[in-house]
Amino acid sequence: MGIGKPVRQVLILIAGVILLLVGIALLVLPGPGLLLVLAGLLVLASEFPAVEKYVDPIRDRAMKAAEDSVSSPLRIAGSVLAGLCLLAAGVVWGLVPGLPLAGWSTGSSLILSGLILFALLIWSYKRVQARRAANAE
């Protein structure tokens, strides 16, 4: 028994808006904000075609930002350092009770952001290397 179309639309709307709002928040907080904005738009566009026109510009910006993050050894080092700082901050926030918003809920979100940063960094690096190899041929 499948769910009805109106229920499906509401669920997709909720999921898309949550991804979009979290992505917007992560534009100023540590984390992959632009990619979550893109994910939210893709989810919304799957059910609401009017949103489709916003997907390509955001996709272009997200891919450019991902490629820029690995464009030089200095940027790679800075990204790795930022990821390590996020992991360290997450552990500190999880273990030190006197900090504002202390606890593992904050700590785990910082650690998760660091891990996502590393995953995106590796993905971006492989993508840029593959593109460079294709252009060299």
Tell whether the model's pLDDT for residue 1 goes beyond 70.
Answer: no
Report the pLDDT averaged over residues 75-83: 85
* Summary mean pLDDT of the chain: 84
Which residue type is seen at 59?
A: R
pLDDT for the residue numbered 89: 92
**71 phi/psi in degrees, rounded to 5:** -75, -20
pTM of the model as a whole: 0.64
pLDDT at 96 over 70: yes
Tally Cβ neighbours within 10 Å of residue 34: 20
Which amino acid is it at 8?
R
Q: Are 37 and 24 in contact (CB under 8 A)?
A: yes
Mean pLDDT of 40-60: 89
- Among left, alpha and beta (phi > 0; psi -120 to 50; other), residue 101 is left
Instruction: Return the pLDDT at 94.
Output: 92
